[in-house]
Amino acid sequence: MDSEPYKTPFLPIGVRKLLGTVIILVGLTAYTLAAVWVAVDVLPEHWAVQLIFYPIAGIAWAFPVKPLIDWMQRPDKLTN
């Protein structure tokens, strides 16, 4: 059980979803451009390096997005 009292979010859920969607789209676009830049200009063209880089780059974006999605889905009011 969570010991902290439930805090009602400042923004309604519709606004949080819209704002979160925009943040995710902008952030994912920037992340994709950065990953492509690293893959093309920084990494050596060796198959073993690419074998390690691409799975990590493909999964790594999800970890910072998880708290944002949790915030977007938080209900406006706690139901009993």
Q: Is the pTM of this model over 0.85?
A: no
Distance in angstroms (rounded) separating the CA atoms of residues 21 and 29 = 12
Helix axes 62-73, 47-60, angle to 10 degrees: 10
Range of the domain at 56: 32-74
Number of domains composing the chain: 1
Supply the DSSP string of 19-56, one letter for each residue: HHHHHHHHHHHHHHHHHHHIIIIIS-S-HHHHHHHHHH
**Structure confidence by residue, pLDDT tens digits, 44-71:** 999 999 999 999 999 999 999 999 999 9
With vertex at residue 70, the alpha carbon angle to CA 19 and CA 35, rounded to the nearest 5 degrees, is 70
Where does the pLDDT of residue 17 fall: very low under 50, low under 70, confident under 90, or very high at 90 and above? very high
The answer to whether residue 9 is domain-embedded is no
The answer to whether residue 43 is domain-embedded is yes
